């Protein structure tokens, strides 16, 4: 498969192949009735694509939790997920669904070894950024409520990012499912860095630069304007990634966006064009995170999905 110009992006993911055997047709309904730290209890959320693999990750540093509509791979050192997988279905993501997010607050996840708390975020200036969006579960109140765990959130710049262009990306991805009537899989997570900016030269539409965050971690000790060192806080990502896999099209694409305010960098009428500039190869996301995605596929199929800038289309 060759690199495809992204300038042809117009409407919805291209239908390219029949639905492979074994891909589930039904709604994203985890087999577990309550969250459980056992991925074998929710195979319909992840088995079609496989769980991401992190090399040399100690068991005490990492906890996988099946929630009702998503599965989270939680990094207990960073107190954030390294990845969150959703199986998004048209029925569950229907925006006319009855579920609401009124009066919802994030809460610690007792199933992980070290969970963030509200005190970590208070006064930090960061949003509690959903990885599996609440709006993807408008079809069921219990599923929507279950997205409000800190194991499903990272510190995210609010104005100009989480509440604007990232929300627009989430909405457009959701419409890929609801408008086409097809199931999709999403993998969302953070990209961290230590001491210097990272240039991503092989972005599909140019070069992206990931700056070091002003705060690398947040906790009660450095909330507000405090300059105190935060040694065991919630890690602040430099960027967020989202990988989208359309099972029926047998096609995937990746987006990487800096964790910063993007206000003023694009016109409100050109949000899609701006998102397009942040398309990257999935292999690039692997290089930045140390994760291996699509472990359910053989090496050849993984390479096809990861090494190319594919044409993806939004309505």
Beta carbons of 269 and 258 less than 8 angstroms apart = no
9: CB partners within 8 A, 6+ apart: 272, 276, 311, 312, 313, 314
**Residue pointed to by tokens 């989202």:** 242
Smallest Cα–Cα separation from 295: which of 42, 46, 19? 46
Instruction: Report whether 225 contacts 274 (CB < 8 A).
Output: no
Catalytic entry in 74, 130, 262, 278 = 130
CB < 8 Å & 24+ apart, contacts of 260-265: 260/157, 260/160, 260/161, 260/211, 261/157, 261/159, 261/160, 261/161, 262/160, 262/161, 262/164, 262/165, 263/159, 263/160, 263/164
Residue 262 designated active-site: no
Which residue do the tokens 């990492």 mark?
Answer: 62
| Other beta carbons less than 10 A from residue 43's beta carbon | 14
Q: Would the CA dihedral through 167, 311, 288, 270 be positive or negative?
A: negative
Q: Active-site residue numbers?
A: 130
């Amino acid at each position: 498969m060759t690199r495809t110009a992204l300038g042809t992006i117009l409407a919805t993911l291209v239908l390219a192949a029949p639905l492979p055997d074994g891909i589930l047709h039904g709604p994203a309904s985890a087999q577990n009735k309550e969250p459980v730290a056992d991925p074998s209890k929710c195979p319909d959320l992840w088995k079609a694509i496989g769980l991401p693999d992190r090399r040399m990750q100690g068991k005490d540093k990492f906890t996988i939790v099946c929630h009702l509509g998503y599965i989270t791979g939680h990094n207990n050192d960073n107190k954030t997920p390294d990845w969150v997988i959703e199986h998004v279905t048209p029925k569950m993501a229907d925006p006319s669904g009855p579920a609401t997010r009124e009066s919802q607050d994030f809460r610690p996840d007792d199933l992980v070894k070290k969970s963030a708390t509200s005190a970590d975020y208070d006064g930090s200036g960061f949003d509690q950024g959903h990885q599996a969006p609440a709006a993807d579960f408008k079809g069921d109140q219990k599923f929507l409520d279950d997205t409000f765990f800190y194991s499903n959130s990272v510190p995210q710049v609010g104005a100009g990012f989480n509440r604007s262009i990232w929300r627009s990306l989430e909405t457009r991805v959701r419409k890929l499912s609801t408008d086409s009537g097809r199931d999709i899989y999403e993998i969302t997570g953070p990209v961290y860095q230590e001491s210097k900016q990272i240039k991503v030269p092989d972005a599909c539409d140019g070069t992206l630069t990931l700056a070091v965050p002003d705060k690398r971690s947040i906790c009660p000790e450095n909330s507000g304007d405090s300059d105190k060192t935060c040694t065991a806080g919630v890690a602040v990502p430099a960027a967020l990634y989202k990988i989208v896999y359309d099972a029926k099209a047998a096609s995937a694409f990746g987006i990487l966006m800096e964790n910063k305010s993007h206000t003023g960098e694009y016109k409100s009428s050109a949000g899609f064009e701006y998102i397009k500039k942040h398309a990257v190869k999935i292999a690039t996301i692997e290089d930045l995170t140390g994760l291996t995605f699509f472990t359910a596929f053989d090496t050849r199929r993984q390479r096809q999905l990861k090494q190319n800038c594919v044409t993806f289309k939004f309505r």
